[in-house]
Amino acid sequence: MPPGSLEELGRRSRAAARVLATATTAVKNDALEFAADALGSGRAEILGANAADVARAEKSGATPAVVDRLRLSDARLDEMAKGLRAVAALADPVGQVVEGWVRPNGLAVRRVRVPLGVVGIVYENRPNVTSDAAGLCVKSGNAAFLRGSAGAIGSNKAITAALRSGIAKAGLPADCVLLVEDTRHDTVQEFVRLRGVIDCLVPRGGPALVALVVEHATVPYVIDGDGNCHVYIDADADLDVAERIVVNAKTQRPSVCNAMETLLVHRAIAPVALPRFAAALEGVELVGDEATRAVLPEVGVATETDFATEFLGLRLSVAVVDDLDGALDHIARYSTGHSEAIVTRDYEAARRFVREVDAAAVLVNASTRFVDGGELGLGAEIGISTQKLHARGPMGLCELTSVKFVIEGDGQIRA
Amino acid sequence: MPPGSLEELGRRSRAAARVLATATTAVKNDALEFAADALGSGRAEILGANAADVARAEKSGATPAVVDRLRLSDARLDEMAKGLRAVAALADPVGQVVEGWVRPNGLAVRRVRVPLGVVGIVYENRPNVTSDAAGLCVKSGNAAFLRGSAGAIGSNKAITAALRSGIAKAGLPADCVLLVEDTRHDTVQEFVRLRGVIDCLVPRGGPALVALVVEHATVPYVIDGDGNCHVYIDADADLDVAERIVVNAKTQRPSVCNAMETLLVHRAIAPVALPRFAAALEGVELVGDEATRAVLPEVGVATETDFATEFLGLRLSVAVVDDLDGALDHIARYSTGHSEAIVTRDYEAARRFVREVDAAAVLVNASTRFVDGGELGLGAEIGISTQKLHARGPMGLCELTSVKFVIEGDGQIRA
């Protein structure tokens, strides 16, 4: 086990996790505050390392979007530090009693939140994830075992060094945050197979990373998957509300997973509603089914692929449905189970939509853009789970914990 | 997609799950009651098919233990029917509001329990699992997609036919319970890769099955793993209580996962306690470390392997530890994270043990044998999870659900 090997790093991460698991909230908060301070005092080193990463990316012909995600600035660094302090201010989930009861034989049973242990994060070119993820892990009592991308390695090393110094200053093992510095592609596959080391893996990246995890991981993981989100405008919708939500869901930030990708409109209101929406969505390229194009002939043809695609940009698929059942069927067929919304004034339609749509989040008369840990009041999020196991929807601190049964008796034995 | 292919069966299972997800509790309870009735009225067919399975197993030289697990009787069939009725009597987790709040902008947010969808069960030669698992799945609104063993296929087919007829009588799709009848070994591997079909896989079997799932599964799963359970007798233990718990944890049913496999004794009481325990554990083969053998010279040597082994029989590893820290270290090293107990009258020792031991269940002054869904009051269990993600410890109906965010507004958009 050479020093710096994944196995050796894993051993160190587990050892740190065992200490961190029983650290008090006060000590963990100190660690986060000191880490935030260290991002400030390490500013020059971090921005210098980041400038080198950016120069390398530009030289290798990375797209402007990639370079933008990679680039840090004083303001972004301040955001990262502020994020750590905000997490320090959140309630500590560790030790929360989820439920408890007493059995007829007198055994007292309770289920208590405990840290997962080692949380592995595989992520791409966003150096802020290093600090955001580490903060959430440490607050929830988990060691953060980080595997960022080659393109951001300089930035990630500098950020990690700052975080580690802050954590050590609070008296916790610096290894509570540990970065894998070997960024050869093969190490991702090794990383996701560190069973017995990583208690929960959170891949933060695109479909290729998710596919790699699904195929190769032997450690437990939570998938933060695609958001092919729908907004359905019911016959009985208030069209002012509908228009406002449609515009917000599509254009307020089109590049994110909770943006609308398909608009479904009830046949009865299509002739009135579609022209209104099309005008309000100026700058968005619409593609539609036949019934949509009957109302909006200038709109392009939406293919099967369009309805199945998360555009993450200013393009929108539009379909006219016969009724609520048509909307539910369309969603059941194409949804990725992220966020689905209905706009209606009809009590029964709202109730059925909420009950029958199978997604992490179902919204009535509200923009899909609210499906976010911060917006929903979870404080911060480590991702948005599109799977049903363990966590579903925005994952906050509680989703970075497990539970333990604590059973207290007075000598009870089983008959 | 030929009829009977795994893909076709999967499609049918998903379709049934979509209907079952919104079935009322009353209808699901009817289905379970009618299924229980059908086990009774189908008694002759089921026992006949089972007799053929048993004859085949005996002819092929199966061990008596295997044959015993396979064999049904009037009494066992009655137990299965009783089990279905007991599950019908449990509270329905679907629709439970786990938590809810209102955001400053007026959005009402709640997290609601919903079925997982399709629950896949891979299991070995216990035909009763067919009925037990199906009952828990249906009650929690999930389609049960069952892949039993070749050795029990006749029994499983007969039981499934009975269950399906009961479910159909209640007006639900018979496919709410679906058995894979192709039991060639390869179909297990195919089964665990039905991503998009199976929402949660629960493998019920030994280490070989678990290893296959960990290596090959692409569907989410919950592992019901080994129980290398420890009981630690602290210096300050009441020795009467300790003896009672030690005997119960080891001998009340030694073949199960929550039985004790290693006894740890504090050095200060070893000279008194060990002879007492050895006498009380008559019929159990003890193997011990050096310090144990200094007190009990007739005891065999416990190897590293012994301490790491779940014997599932009348053999017990014994070690003497210097103090609570020694016990915690031993457990951290060898535990499979199932059930760990301390016997003590020392408040601080109990508190530290509960906090520092990382296991699904931690017990104070109670037998490890209580770590069971029925004993803890969950009503029934589909297994005992030894992983930290999604479910940990005994899994009842709630652990067969996911949650959905429901967000209700009045036209809110994100700024």
Rounded CA gap, B303 and B39, in Å? Answer: 48
For B257, the 3-state DSSP assignment is coil
- Which regions in chain B score pLDDT beneath 70? 1-3
Q: Which of A388, A403, A411 lies nearest to residue B365, judging by beta carbons?
A: A411
Please say whether the dihedral angle defined by the alpha carbons of residues B211, B215, B216 and B217, taken in this order, is positive or negative.
positive
A137: Cβ contacts below 8 Å, ≥ 6 apart: A119, A121, A143, A144, A176, A177, A382, A400
What residues does each domain of chain A span? 6-223+394-406, 229-375
Q: By C-alpha distance, which of B199, B334, B396 is closest to A403?
A: B396
The CA angle B95-B96-B101, to the nearest 5 degrees, is: 110
Q: Which of B354, B371, B404 lies nearest to residue A359, judging by beta carbons?
A: B404
- Are B218 and A214 inside 8 Å of each other by CB? yes
What local confidence, expressed as pLDDT, does residue A20 receive? 98
Nearest CA in chain A to B21: A356
Residues 24-63 (B) with a CB less than 8 A from some CB of A = none
β-partners of residue A362 are A340, B406
Distance (Å) of CA B65 to CA A386, B150, B218: 42, 17, 32
Picking from A353, A407, A408, A410 by the largest number of B CB atoms within 10 A of its own CB, the best residue to mutate is: A407
Residues 105-124 (B) with a CB less than 8 A from some CB of A = 107, 109, 114, 116-117
Average pLDDT for residues A279-295, to the nearest whole number? 98
Tokens at B39, concatenated: 């086990």
Q: By C-alpha distance, which of B245, B270, B233, B231 is closest to B344?
A: B233
Please say whether the dihedral angle defined by the alpha carbons of residues B82, B396, A361 and A215, taken in this order, is positive or negative.
negative
- Are B392 and A405 inside 8 Å of each other by CB? yes
Residues from chain A that touch B377, judged by Cβ atoms under 8 A, are 101, 103, 109
Rounded CA gap, B369 and A246, in Å? Answer: 56
Rounded CA gap, B394 and B360, in Å? Answer: 8
Average pLDDT for residues A237-259, to the nearest whole number? 96
Q: Are A83 and A132 in contact (CB under 8 A)?
A: yes
Rounded CA gap, A332 and A358, in Å? Answer: 7
B285: Cβ contacts below 8 Å, ≥ 6 apart: B300, B314, B315, B316
Picking from A195, A214, A233, A402 by the largest number of B CB atoms within 10 A of its own CB, the best residue to mutate is: A402
What is the band of A185 on the pLDDT scale with cuts at 50, 70, 90?
A: confident
B329: Cβ contacts below 8 Å, ≥ 6 apart: B321
For B328, the 3-state DSSP assignment is helix
| Strands (E) located in A131-179 | 143-147, 177-179
Mean pLDDT for chain A overall = 96
Q: By C-alpha distance, which of B191, B195, B202, B82 is closest to B137?
A: B202
CB proximity B398 to A under 8 Å? no
Helix (H) or strand (E) segment spanning residue B316: strand B315-321
Beta pairing, strands B339-343 & B315-321: unpaired
Q: By C-alpha distance, which of B317, B300, B321, B302 is closest to B261?
A: B317
Residues A344-358 pLDDT 10s = 999 999 999 999 999
Q: Which CATH class is domain A6-223+394-406?
A: alpha beta
Q: By C-alpha distance, which of B199, B394, B219, B95 is closest to A392?
A: B199
- Are A413 and B359 inside 8 Å of each other by CB? no
What local confidence, expressed as pLDDT, does residue A195 receive? 95
Beta pairing, strands A393-395 & A383-385: antiparallel
Residues from chain A that touch B411, judged by Cβ atoms under 8 A, are 238, 240-241, 244-245, 365-366
Q: Nearest CA of chain B to the CA of A183: how many Å?
A: 24
Distance (Å) of CA A383 to CA A123, A291, B25: 11, 37, 33
Rounded CA gap, A293 and A36, in Å? Answer: 53
Residue A1 has pLDDT above 60, yes or no: no
Nearest CA in chain B to A400: B389
Rounded CA gap, B139 and A308, in Å? Answer: 33
- Are B116 and A388 inside 8 Å of each other by CB? yes
Average pLDDT for residues A224-233, to the nearest whole number? 94
Residues 173-202 (A) with a CB less than 8 A from some CB of B = 195, 199-200
- Are B109 and A371 inside 8 Å of each other by CB? no
What local confidence, expressed as pLDDT, does residue B379 receive? 85
A146: Cβ contacts below 8 Å, ≥ 6 apart: A120, A121, A123, A130, A133, A134, A156, A160, A177, A178, A179, A180
Residue A244 has pLDDT above 80, yes or no: yes
Q: Are A159 and A102 in contact (CB under 8 A)?
A: no
Residues 333-352 (B) with a CB less than 8 A from some CB of A = 350
Higher-pLDDT residue of A1 and A26 is: A26
Q: What one-character DSSP code corresponds to residue A150?
A: G
Rounded CA gap, A383 and A224, in Å? Answer: 6
Residue A2 has pLDDT above 80, yes or no: no
Taking domain A229-375, whether its CATH number is 3.10.20.310 is answered by no
Q: By C-alpha distance, which of A326, A265, A315, A316 is closest to A291?
A: A265
Ramachandran category for residue A29: left, alpha or beta (phi over 0 → left; psi -120 to 50 → alpha): alpha
Q: What is the ipTM of this complex?
A: 0.94
Residues 74-103 (A) with a CB less than 8 A from some CB of B = 101, 103
Average pLDDT for residues A221-234, to the nearest whole number? 94
What is the band of A18 on the pLDDT scale with cuts at 50, 70, 90?
A: very high
Amino acid found at B299: V
What is the band of A217 on the pLDDT scale with cuts at 50, 70, 90?
A: very high
CB proximity A310 to B under 8 Å? no
Residues from chain A that touch B402, judged by Cβ atoms under 8 A, are 388-389, 392
Residues from chain A that touch B362, judged by Cβ atoms under 8 A, are 404-407
Query: How far is residue A164 CA from its own chain's centroid?
Result: 24
DSSP string, A60-100: TT--HHHHHHH---HHHHHHHHHHHHHHHHSPP-TT-EEEE
Average pLDDT for residues A86-98, to the nearest whole number? 97
pTM: 0.94
Please say whether the dihedral angle defined by the alpha carbons of residues A386, A391, A394 and A396, taken in this order, is positive or negative.
negative
Look up tokens 């009961």; give the residue.
B166
For B289, the 3-state DSSP assignment is coil
Average pLDDT for residues A315-323, to the nearest whole number? 98
Residues A129-143 pLDDT 10s = 999 999 999 999 999
CATH number corresponding to B229-373: 3.40.309.10
Rounded CA gap, B400 and B140, in Å? Answer: 6
Tokens at B12, concatenated: 């049918």
Residues from chain A that touch B394, judged by Cβ atoms under 8 A, are 405
Tokens at A302, concatenated: 């939406």
Look up tokens 């249906």; give the residue.
B138
- Are A360 and B405 inside 8 Å of each other by CB? yes
Q: Are A114 and A21 in contact (CB under 8 A)?
A: yes
Residues from chain B that touch A367, judged by Cβ atoms under 8 A, are 412-414
Rounded CA gap, A401 and B181, in Å? Answer: 39
How many CB pairs (< 8 A) connect A and B? 207
- Are B410 and A365 inside 8 Å of each other by CB? yes
- Are B409 and A377 inside 8 Å of each other by CB? no
Amino acid found at B308: A
Nearest CA in chain A to B253: A414
How many CA atoms within 13 Å lie on the side-chain side of A403? 22
Distance (Å) of CA B200 to CA B14, B88, B292: 12, 22, 45
β-partners of residue B244 are none
